[in-house]
Each structure stands twice: as structure tokens, then as C-alpha cells.
Amino acid sequence: MKIFERLESNVRGYCRAFPTVFTTAQGAELHDESGRRYLDFFAGAGSLNYGHNEPQLKQALLDYISADGIVHGLDMATASKRRFMEQFEQLILKPRQLNYKLQFTGPTGTNAVEAALKIARLVTGRTNVVAFTNGFHGVSLGSLATTANSHYREGAGIATSGVTFMPYDGYLGPEVDTLDYLDKALNDGSSGLDHPAAVIVETVQGEGGINVAELSWLQRLGHICKRHGVLLIVDDIQMGCGRTGHFFSFEAAGLQPDIITLSKSLSAYGLPFAMVLLKPELDQWKPGQHNGTFRGNNLAFVTAAAALEHFWQNDQFQVDVQRKGEILRQRLESIAADYPELSVRGRGMVQAIDCQEGELAAQITRHAFEQGLIIETSGSDDQVVKCLPPLIMTEQQLQQGLDILAASVSAAMARQARKQQFKFGAMA
Ligand SMILES: *Cc1c(COP(=O)(O)O)cnc(C)c1O
């Protein structure tokens, strides 16, 4: 590990949580250089929904590279881009009766969010954007302004502006419909809210602690936006591509957002790739007005098209994700049932245990790593243990991972109980 500590910037993060050197990976398993095997409950923060090195996607990629297919082509028309666009239209948009233009941005999620915010402001001529408490939309300046967590915001170095934060669903407890405030503020010229160009929202907050918006809340948000002429941007970078049990996470709510951002698992292979979907009337860019050297990644076009072909021809994959999501949910509920301080939430194959405090969650994930399970925390205090297994994980692997997680929870809870006992013992 020495060169990482000596030479790599202090900004490095995940290598601290998972202190080993990884070498190979297949499906839902990774291996390190000592030959240890790890089960993956993290999936590259949702970038590996189809697992590591999925064999069919790998073959498509190898064939393309062997044939000297175009690797870099700026945003020129290529056969691989055409294939992806045809498949995306045929297998994703048409069956859902969705009508969007496709904008290929720079290859990371935050690139897509920047483009979405820019076009929303350009089209409406307004600057303000409404974002939500605990939301995460990336760390480049425009996106960072819509990201709530001060840990990231403090890294900006300048004031981030043009954004008003509103309480996300559940922020004020289960009894309060937080949209009452947004609706009232939009209606009231003295609320202090500059009429926004757009609202940007995650249907389930991935980095912010697996906060799940009720479908009725999302529907009401859609209605409020429409009524006030505000564009609705759904950031589906982490929750899209099947994670919640449908290709888009907003499908269950029947929403038709004005703008959608996709990245993370879009390439299906862990390759960098991002896209913005725009209602056709919003596509008011002038040619080249927003650009980037790596717009569309031809290798990612190949694997993304192959994934659509292999996984999204019919409902089977989605039904399987929903079924495994249910198993995951029930097992977490039974793990948490023994401890009143733990609670479970999520949707589809993103489920989490809220530990209420970061130290306990860290104990659990540390123990899990020692037992061969890669699992991360999220939330404002990293207090939420989040399960984000690859969607292709077998039921057996899922149960194996959950066995490790269950053991890690009881080990961490026992340790905490011992600490409490010691404290009280010392007092008496
Ligand atoms: C990860 C993420 C982003 C940022 O993507 P990067 O590729 O890290 O820039 C934006 N929005 C959401 C919801 C994310 O989960």
C-alpha cells in the first residue's frame, strides 16, 4: 500500500475504507493480490449493475477492439453510437412511450448534471434552481451548488450560488408533507424564493443516506413543477439503469421528467459514459454550444448497447431485480429487528440499514470487509450502511453477503454493548 500513501493525493477515499490491492473481478466478486475473494455489495457506487466484466459485454468489447472499431471520435457519428441510439430508442424509450432527445456529455455524472442545469437555465432565462436537503449531484462547481453536504461544499473555494434548498420527503418527519412549503413558496411573491428554472431531485437519495421519496410525493412534485412552469430534472445517475426495479427510477411514480441525467451503470461495464435526456422542445442548444472532448465513449456505446440487448429485451430482468430486492429487504428487516436503534429503508436492489451514528456503521462495514464483503456507508454522518449489490448477483451470493452483514452487525452491536457496560461500570 506504500506508494498509494506516499504518492497519491490525500483526497483518495475508498482505498482507505477497503485497504487492499485489488487485481481481478468477475460478476459480483473481486480478488486482491493475496488471492482473497470479496463479495461486492457496493458495485462501484452503482456503476456495476451488471457486475464486473460481464462475459457477453466483454466479448462485444473485445470483438470491437479487435476489429479496430473507432475508440475516440469526439462527437462524430460512428456505427457504435448509432447502434446504441437505435437500441436505446427501441428497448427503453418506445416501450415506455417516452420521447426525449439524447445529449452525450463528457463521460462523468457531474458532466451530465452541469449540462442539465445549463440548458434548464438557458431555456427558461432564470438562474435559480431548487435542490433538496441531503441531495448529491456531483462535485464540479455547478453540480456542487446543488449538492447539500457541507463536506463537499466546503471544497468549492468560492461561494456556490443560484440554488435554493428545500426539505426532501421525510426531512421533517413522517407527518409533514414537505412539498407544502415548496408549493406555498412558489405561490407567494414574498416567500423569498426566486422563481426557479428547475427542480433537481433524486427519487432515492444515494449518497445522502438512501432516503426514499414516496411515489405520491414525487407525483405531487411533478404536478407542482408543471403548475408553476418549472422544469423537473430527475438525476437518475445512481438509481437508474434498473437499480430500483425498473430501467428509470421514476417509472413507478409514472413521472415524465423534463430532463433526465444518466451515467454510472449506463455503460454497463464500468466505463465512463453519461447522457442527458431532454424533452424535444428543450433541446435549444446551438451546435457545439456545450461540448467536451470525450462526449460519448465509443467503447461504452458498444457495451451499453450490448447490455440493452441482453438484459432489456423483455420484463424478465426487472422482475428478477424486484424479486431479489424483496429478499434483500426482508433479510435486512430481520437483521435489524433485534435492535431498536436500527431501521431499514430502500427500494428494489438498493436497501440500507440506518444505524443513527457513523461510528456504529463504520464498525459494521469494517468488520464486513475483514470477512470478505465490500459494503459502504452513506448519509450526512455516514450513519447508513448501504447495500448496492450488482443486479446480476445470484441469490446464493446475496445470502452469503447477508450472512456476513448479519454477523458484522451483531459483532458491532456486541462491541458497543461492552463499551456501554464499561462506561457504566466505571461510573458505579
Ligand atoms: C455519483 C452521482 C453523481 C456524480 O457522478 P460522477 O460521475 O461522480 O461525477 C451525480 N448524481 C448522483 C445522483 C450520483 O449518484
The pTM (predicted TM-score) of the whole model is: 0.97
Q: Kindly report the backbone phi and psi dihedral angles of residue 196, in degrees, each rounded to the nearest multiple of 5, phi listed first.
A: -80, 155
Provide the sign of the torsion angle of the four alpha carbons 275, 276, 279, 285, taken in this order: negative
Distances (CA, A) of 174 to 94, 167, 207, 389: 37, 12, 21, 28
Beta strand pairing status for 101-104 and 275-278? antiparallel
Contacts of 89 (CB under 8 A, 6+ apart): none
What integer pLDDT is reported at residue 426 of this predicted model? 64
Q: Is the CB of 112 under 6 A from ligand 1?
A: no
Q: How many whole angstroms from 201 Cα to the centroid of ligand 1?
A: 12
68-88, pLDDT tens digit by residue? 999 999 999 999 999 999 999
What integer pLDDT is reported at residue 119 of this predicted model? 98
Pairwise CA distance, residues 278 & 288, whole Å = 16
Q: Which residues are registered as beta bridge partners of 278?
A: 101, 259
Distances (CA, A) of 155 to 159, 161, 168, 306, 423: 10, 14, 23, 38, 37
Q: How many whole angstroms from 255 Cα to the centroid of ligand 1?
A: 21
- Confidence band (pLDDT; 50, 70, 90) for 423? confident
Find out whether 402 and 408 touch, Cβ atoms under 8 Å: no
Q: Which residues are registered as beta bridge partners of 39?
A: 29, 373
Beta strand pairing status for 37-40 and 22-26? unpaired
Q: How many whole angstroms from 137 Cα to the centroid of ligand 1?
A: 5
Query: How far, rounded to the nearest angstrom, does the alpha carbon of residue 425 sit from its chain's CA centroid?
Result: 44
9-58, pLDDT tens digit by residue? 999 999 999 999 999 999 999 999 999 999 999 999 999 999 999 999 99
Which residue of 105, 207, 212 sits with most ligand 1 atoms within 8 Å of its CB, as the best mutation to test the pocket?
207
The residue among 312, 328, 310, 325 whose CA lies nearest residue 399 is: 328
HSE of 282, CA atoms in CB hemisphere, 13 A: 30
85-118, pLDDT tens digit by residue? 999 999 999 999 999 999 999 999 999 999 999 9
Find out whether 91 and 310 touch, Cβ atoms under 8 Å: no
347-389, pLDDT tens digit by residue? 999 999 999 999 999 999 999 999 999 999 999 999 999 999 9
Q: Which residues are registered as beta bridge partners of 385?
A: 353, 377
Nearest CA to ligand 1 atom 6: 109
Q: Is the CB of 206 under 6 A from ligand 1?
A: yes
Q: How many whole angstroms from 196 Cα to the centroid of ligand 1?
A: 22
Q: Is the CB of 263 under 6 A from ligand 1?
A: yes
Q: Is the CB of 137 under 6 A from ligand 1?
A: yes
Q: How many whole angstroms from 191 Cα to the centroid of ligand 1?
A: 31
pLDDT above 70 coverage of the chain, percent: 99
What integer pLDDT is reported at residue 427 of this predicted model? 62
Find out whether 415 and 363 touch, Cβ atoms under 8 Å: yes
Q: Is the pLDDT of residue 170 over 60?
A: yes
Q: Is the CB of 203 under 6 A from ligand 1?
A: no
Q: Which helix (H) or strand (E) holds 163?
A: strand 163-166
Pairwise CA distance, residues 165 & 355, whole Å = 25
Contacts of 404 (CB under 8 A, 6+ apart): 39, 368, 371, 372, 373
Other beta carbons less than 10 A from residue 218's beta carbon: 23
Q: Is the CB of 238 under 6 A from ligand 1?
A: yes
Query: Any idea what DSSP says for residue 281?
Result: G
- Confidence band (pLDDT; 50, 70, 90) for 420? confident
In the block, residue with C-alpha cell 438525476 = 235
